[in-house]
Amino acid sequence: MDRNQPQGAEHNRHGSRDASGYPKLAKLMGDSPETAIFRRFRQLNMLHLLRLQAELHSMEDELHEVIQEDQQSDDVDRKDYSRNFFLLKRCAEQGKDFEQYELLQRIGEKLNEYNAAISAAGAVEGLATPEKRPLEFLRLWIKGAGGGEIFPLGTESTIWETKSRAEYVSLAPAASNDRISLLVRGVLLDIYHFFAESFKKAKKRLRKTALPPTASEPRIREYDDEKLQAISDGITAAIASLLPTLMILVLYFVKRMLVRIGLVIVFTTIFSVVMSFYPGAKKGEVFAAVAAFAAVEVVFIGTTG
Domain ranges of the chain: 42-126, 242-304
3-state secondary structure of 49: helix
Alpha-carbon span 142 to 125, nearest angstrom: 25
At 205, the amino acid letter reads R
- Among 116-125, 238-247, 267-276, the range with the most confident prediction by mean pLDDT is 116-125
Cα separations (Å) of 87 from 62, 76, 79, 98, 243?
A: 21, 11, 11, 11, 77
Q: In 3D, which of 272, 276, 273, 254 has the Cα closest to residue 263?
A: 254
Exposure string of 144-154, with b = 16+ CB inside 10 Å and e = fewer, is bbbeeeebeee
Cα separations (Å) of 92 from 14, 68, 85, 86, 108?
A: 61, 17, 10, 10, 16
Q: What is the dihedral of CA 198, 201, 206, 207, to 10 degrees?
A: 150
Indicate the pLDDT class of residue 290, thresholds 50, 70 and 90.
confident
pLDDT at position 177 = 65
pLDDT in tens, 63-99: 999 888 878 887 777 777 777 878 878 887 887 777 8
Alpha-carbon span 290 to 268, nearest angstrom: 7
- For range 272-278, the mean pLDDT: 77
**Range of weakest confidence among 197-206, 254-263, 296-305:** 296-305
Mean pLDDT of the chain: 80
pLDDT at position 154 = 85
Residue 207, judged by CB atoms within 10 A of its CB (0-12, 13-18, 19+), counts as exposed
pLDDT at position 52 = 98
Q: Helices in 186-256 by DSSP H: which ranges?
A: 189-207, 225-253
pLDDT at position 305 = 58
* Residue 288 reports pLDDT greater than 90: no
Residue 161's CB is within 10 A of a number of other CB atoms, namely 8
Tell me the pTM: 0.65
pLDDT in tens, 13-50: 444 456 788 898 898 899 888 889 999 999 999 999 99
pLDDT at position 219 = 54
pLDDT at position 229 = 76
Indicate the pLDDT class of residue 201, thresholds 50, 70 and 90.
confident
Indicate the pLDDT class of residue 280, thresholds 50, 70 and 90.
low
Do residues 199 and 157 touch, judged by C-beta distance below 8 A? no
Contacts of 273 (CB under 8 A, 6+ apart): none
pLDDT at position 210 = 52
pLDDT in tens, 222-268: 666 677 778 888 887 888 788 888 888 888 888 888 888 888 888 88
* Residue 218 reports pLDDT greater than 80: no
Over pLDDT 90: what percentage of the chain? 22
Exposure string of 273-296, with b = 16+ CB inside 10 Å and e = fewer, is ebeeebeeeeeeeeeebeeebbee
Cα separations (Å) of 224 from 10, 134, 177, 182, 231?
A: 14, 16, 16, 15, 11
* Residue 209 reports pLDDT greater than 60: no
